[in-house]
Amino acid sequence: MKAGVLALQGDFREHARVFAELGASPVEVRTPEDLSRVDALAIPGGESTTISKLARSAELVGPIVERASEGMPILGTCAGMIVMAKRVIGLEPLLGLVDVTVRRNAYGRQVDSFEADVDIEGVDHQVRGVFIRAPVVEDVGADVRAIASLDGRPVVLEQGSLIVASFHPELVGETRLHEYLLGKV
Ligand code: GLN
């Protein structure tokens, strides 16, 4: 199985490492042609404004939205969640795929970075994640299911074959969320 990682900015190498560990072949996606070869896609953490700018200039927005509408599984972590959201407070949405409203950097004011173990519905063990200037989900549409929460806030959400997480599982070598994604291919 070819597992794509959007490789424009951010921690795409860590996502690729997780896919490789799971036995999938990671493919760095920088062009629509790269995208056409993959069975699933991870959108990494990083800086959502930069990822958005680079994705627009690489002409990847339309092709990613099209693959998503055909049912390709996509996982977005942190900045990846932001670029997949339909509504972002104070920022033009990029892909507009997942029916949530997110607020950027909303965990950042109190604590810049922390780790937590998260219980995810459909995943056997707790998933370890790193929250770094993470987005908070403020509003969840009817077709979106929160499959994990932390302190009463949804932190992993699923809409069909699309998954978004506020945190980074990839930074601590956590593989279970990626495994769950590949299970949808
Ligand atoms: N704060 C970043 C943004 O708004 C996301 C941070 C992250 O991916 N760790 O894009």
- State if residue 73 touches ligand 1 by the CB under 6 angstroms criterion: no
Atom of ligand 1 nearest to the CA of 50: 10
Place of tokens 């990626």: 178
Structure tokens at 10: 């951010």
How many angstroms is it from 7 CA to the middle of ligand 1? 15
pLDDT given for residue 112 in this prediction: 74
Contact predicate 98/64, CB 8 Å: no
| 108 has pLDDT over 70 | no
pLDDT tens digit sequence for 145-176 = 999 999 999 999 999 999 999 999 999 989 99
**CA-angle at 184, arms to 13 and 131, nearest 5°:** 45
Contact predicate 63/33, CB 8 Å: no
- Estimate to the nearest angstrom the gap between the alpha carbon of 81 and the chain centroid: 5
- State if residue 48 touches ligand 1 by the CB under 6 angstroms criterion: yes
Locate the domains of the chain by residue range: 2-182
pLDDT tens digit sequence for 34-63 = 999 999 999 999 999 999 999 999 999 999
Q: How far apart are CA 41 and CA 68, in angstroms?
A: 9
CA-nearest of 103, 73, 76 to 87 is 103
Atom of ligand 1 nearest to the CA of 131: 9
Class of domain 2-182: alpha beta
Rounded to two decimals, the pTM is 0.97
